Amino acid sequence: KEIRLIQDSGLFDAQYYLETYRHVALAGADPLIHFLEVGAAENYNPSPLFNTSLYLKMNPDVALKGLNPLVHYLTQGPDKPPLPFDPDPYLRLDPDVPESGIDPVTHHTHHGYHEDQLLSFSDISNDRNFSVDRETILVVCHDATRTGAPVLGLNLVQGLVGRYNVVALLLGGGPLSDEFRRAGAAVLTLSKLRGNPVLTHQVVDQLCKRYRFKFALVNSIESRIVLPVLGNHFVPAISLIHEFSANTRPRDAFRNALFWSSEVVFSAKLTLEGVFSEYPDLRERSAHILP
């Protein structure tokens, strides 16, 4: 049972183990059996992704009970993180991990998983009230402050909850967060998505798989980071643009937003003309004006 568990986890690298502990290879021993019976007790690492001695230091009860640290992590680790654990995106999500000197698995167990729990959506609210008879849509706002675009986003949610199940993804907090909930939306506030396309891809990817959105309203050019992954899932995305292109950076922000959007709605003719003036090659792009 333990052998199968470790094999399925992807956290045991036989080649690494034999090259690191050459006496095991010279003895002709099975590397996984050796790790289970001898290596773990000698603080041998099963792969570059799991630091046995550090895990035992952070979990002294495991050593006192004589438990295998990797098996403990896979079966009794904090909150039992979902397996298999993929260290590559985790390292890209948190570039400080390599500099910390802690291997990604241990860091994920003791820090990352507890700090964020982003992919479990444990903090999303109100979706238990969704009706199976209604289709589900996504509304994205760059924050929940009492300013123009978030207020518009709230108004949209209030007008749509009677027809759809509405998931509101807020890329920043603010006093309107509770108003989105009171309106009947399932709200997920994740400020760490802003400026982090890798994390955004993982979160929106799981949202799309969980809710199968009919379409998405992406409110403000500042929410454009969600557009590529919505496109990858063939979720029609309607971008609501209020900003002037001359005041928005990077310079290709509008080009990328228009590329990934199914439809684009500008709040004024002036903002539309500003974009087409900056990007004359986009004038053939279909766009709408809705004050």
Q: Which of 109, 168, 100 shows the shortest CA–CA distance to 137?
A: 168
Look at the block and give the residue holding tokens 């400026």: 195
CB–CB of 215/235 below 8 Å?
A: yes
Full-model pTM: 0.63
Q: Is residue 99's pLDDT more than 80? A: no
Q: Which of 158, 213, 212 shows the shortest CA–CA distance to 181?
A: 158
Q: How far is CA 211 from the centre of its chain?
A: 15
Distance CA 76, CA 56 (A): 13
For the domain 119-289, what is the CATH superfamily, name and number?
Answer: Glycogen Phosphorylase B; (3.40.50.2000)
- Return the pLDDT at 283: 83
In the beta sheet, which residues pair with residue 265? 240, 288
- Return the pLDDT at 139: 98
Helix (H) or strand (E) holding 166: strand 165-170
CA distances, 225 to each of 8, 12, 182, 204, 233 (Å): 34, 35, 26, 10, 14
Residues of the chain with CATH 3.40.50.2000: 119-289
Q: Is residue 123's pLDDT more than 80? A: no
Look at the block and give the residue holding tokens 């709605």: 265
Mean pLDDT computed over 215-234? 96
CA distances, 62 to each of 55, 76, 284 (Å): 9, 10, 65
Q: Is residue 210's pLDDT more than 60? A: yes
CB–CB of 190/81 below 8 Å?
A: no
- Return the pLDDT at 284: 81
Distance CA 201, CA 93 (A): 11
Q: Which of 136, 118, 141 shows the shortest CA–CA distance to 126?
A: 136
Would you tell me how many other CB atoms lie within 10 Å of the CB of residue 8? Answer: 12
With a pLDDT cut of 70, the percent of the chain lying above it is 83
pLDDT digits (tens, 9 = 90+) for 76-98: 754 444 444 556 656 665 666 66
Distance CA 267, CA 271 (A): 7
CA distances, 18 to each of 11, 34, 291 (Å): 15, 10, 67
Distance CA 150, CA 278 (A): 26
Look at the block and give the residue holding tokens 């390599």: 98
CB–CB of 212/236 below 8 Å?
A: no
- Return the pLDDT at 119: 44
Mean pLDDT computed over 103-113? 60
- Return the pLDDT at 117: 41
Mean pLDDT computed over 127-141? 91
Distance CA 38, CA 222 (A): 54
